[in-house]
A and B are shown apart, each in its own frame.
Chain A
Amino acid sequence: MSNIEDDLIRRAQSADTEAFCLLAKGYERRIYLLAFHYCHNPQDAEDLSQEVWLKAYQALGSFRGESTFYTWLRKITINCFLNHQRARHYNWRGQTTGDTLLGVDSIEGDERLAFTSNSETAMHNRILAERVMKGLSELTPPQRLIFLLKHHEGMTYEEIARAVGCSTGTAKKSVFRAITKLREHLDIDVPSTTTLRALQSKIGIGV
């Protein structure tokens, strides 16, 4: 933990909101994106990520520095996501549209624009993102969370199992299932170099 972060945590623990906001600034994107890919709706992602920050602020007194601040925050995030999943099931199916991803139908559209231009690359990325989201939507919320923890956070299967409260085998199966779904939706069934190159050129990704 850096000295600056240490100092910010100490100040935030003594109810300094400014210090906590500065602390949050370093991780807010990561948490928001995790929430967005988990619930796949900008409004829900914002609500969920802000709930994480409020809970973290309320629980900051219990942070003893035994782990890094981000590890502690991630634990709160996972619990928050799982509780949310228990309380309310996000209706993923059919919810995602290109406009959602582009931020066109969002509340504050200008702020949420996911892409800078309406170029061909952006269009390809949009199609690609839709496919990925559709693949992930076919997973259960815990499976999706496990995949995101592996893919985004780089956690080991043991860490995921401890954090989510499942077995290592379940964590492995969830990741495998997620990749199978992505394969199906991205049409990467045949693992040949030619097909991959064709797909990449089709969707505009450089090798």
Chain B
Amino acid sequence: MHNCKETRKLLIELALDQVPSDQSQALLAQLEHCPGCREEFASLRNVLRVAEQAMQSTVPEEGFWSGYHERLQQSLTRDSAATTTSFASRSPSETGALVRLRKLFTTSLRVPVPVAALLIILFGLSIGFAARSRSQSIAGPSSVLTRTVEVPVIQERTVTRVVYRDRKPGTSHGRTAQPERPGSNSVAVRKNGATEGTPISLVGFKPANEVKLTIIKGSYRDEK
């Protein structure tokens, strides 16, 4: 069954004589029955023939080729001479080393795909771990910041002593020290300072065992 669309796909190749002979015979038989395809084929064939003829007419004449070949020979000789010179200027040992080095870098090994994939993954992981540990070792010390801060520590000692005094008329309370009674361990003490003109004796005084520590935050200058 003739199908114009399918036939026309092959017309260019048919016009260029690039279709196998059996297929070509079948196509030509189809063209006999389809004027549209036949005209299209005739047009294509003529375009390609004219183009072929035109291109053939641009072929240089024989005299050109001898000169062309000569120039090609010259450029090849120049090229090979340049290659030879570059090799000849090196010592044999140098050339051998270069050849070995080149072989080393250009030699390839056949590795199965799973092994290659595993190696690539391991390589990637090792690079990842190395980068991570490096970043940690760099970041560790720099995160600790040493700074000296002045912290005033005030030690307070509260001394409490009960003092018994005889109340006698004419004496003001706490203003004058009473003479010490024999046998008594009371001591005339005036809180926050000594009584005027009276010597203060701390005989028999025992400091308390408890020490009250008060830490005041802030500078000592803020202290009241």
Interface residues of A (CB under 8 A from B): 15, 17, 20-21, 24-25, 28-29, 32-33, 36-37, 42, 46, 50, 53-54, 57-58, 101, 103, 108, 110-116, 122, 125-126, 128-129, 131-133, 150-152, 154, 156, 175-176, 179, 182-183, 186, 188, 190-193, 196, 199-200, 203, 205
Contact = CB atoms under 8 A, between A and B. Distances in A.
Nearest to A116: B61
Q: Which 9 A-B pairs have the closest CB atoms?
A: A191-B43, A125-B57, A132-B54, A191-B39, A111-B64, A129-B54, A128-B54, A111-B67, A196-B46
Q: Which secondary structure dominates where chain A touches chain B? A: helix
15 contacts: A17-B76, A17-B80, A25-B69, A36-B58, A54-B76, A103-B64, A112-B60, A113-B61, A115-B61, A122-B57, A128-B57, A129-B54, A151-B48, A186-B50, A196-B43
Given A128-B50, A183-B47, A192 B39 contact: yes
Contacts of B105: none
A196 B44 CA distance: 11
Contacts of B75: 50, 53-54
A57 B73 CA distance: 11
B42 A191 contact: yes
B80 A21 contact: no
A53 B42 contact: no
Contacts of B47: 179, 182-183, 186, 188
Interface of B: 12, 16, 18, 39-40, 42-44, 46-55, 57-61, 63-65, 67-69, 71-73, 75-77, 79-80, 84
Contacts of A112: 60, 64
Given A183-B47, A193-B42, A113 B57 contact: no
A145 B69 CA distance: 24
Given A25-B69, A125-B54, A114 B61 contact: yes
Contact of A28 (B12, B65, B84): B65
B71 A114 contact: no
A172 B43 CA distance: 18
Contact of B69 (A17, A28, A196): A28
Contact of B55 (A24, A32, A132, A183): A132
A54 B59 contact: no
A156 B76 contact: no
Given A21-B72, A113-B60, A191 B50 contact: no
A122 B43 CA distance: 24
B87 to A, nearest CB: 10
A183 B43 contact: yes
Nearest to B39: A191
Contacts of B42: 191, 193, 196
A29 B59 CA distance: 9
Contacts of A53: 72, 75-76
A54 B18 CA distance: 32
B29 to A, nearest CB: 20
A70 B84 CA distance: 27
A176 to B, nearest CB: 7
Contacts of B53: 125, 128, 205
A179 B48 CA distance: 8
Contacts of A128: 50, 53-54, 57
Contacts of A15: 80, 84
Contacts of A188: 43, 46-47, 50
Contacts of A101: 57-58
Contacts of B67: 108, 111
